Amino acid sequence: GIQVEQSPPDLILQEGANSTLRCNFSDSVNNLQWFHQNPWGQLINLFYIPSGTKQNGRLSATTVATERYSLLYISSSQTTDSGVYFCAVEIGQGAQKLVFGQGTRLTINP
């Protein structure tokens, strides 16, 4: 089956720093989503980005489907950005199945 790999597995930064999280996938996918899992366990949709670039405030994401990777950029990090960031790729014909990466645990220190 498809492999989804995220890097780095852990990232510790000071408040105000910028970061780039990467998601590589091993096969063609229908779509890709980025999620933030906050310290309370809730999954929050960040981006739905099958290709191209999207921006939402301090966050932006780029997916290059032909090269099978996606990047999530976080600028001017805040402590509330802490948590685990997951990318999930959508596979399957007609049915929507998400395959998740292992996540990047981001810790922002004040």
Partner 1 sequence: NAGVTQTPKFQVLKTGQSMTLQCAQDMNHEYMSWYRQDPGMGLRLIHYSVGAGITDQGEVPNGYNVSRSTTEDFPLRLLSAAPSQTSVYFCASSYGGAGYEQYFGPGTRLTVT
Residue from 39, 57, 93, 110 binding partner 1 (CB under 8 A): 93
Among the listed ranges 12-20, 39-47, 54-62, 70-78, the one in contact with partner 1 (CB under 8 A) is 39-47
Residue 66 backbone dihedrals phi, psi, to 5 degrees: -65, -25
**Neighbour-count burial for 42-78, b at 16+ CB within 10 Å, e otherwise:** eeeebbebeeeeeeeeebbbbbebeebbbbbebeebe
Residue from 52, 78, 97, 109 binding partner 1 (CB under 8 A): 97
Q: How far is the CB of 66 from partner 1 (least distance, A)?
A: 18
**Contact set with partner 1 (CB under 8 A):** 4, 30-31, 33, 35, 41-43, 45, 48, 50, 86, 88, 90, 92-103
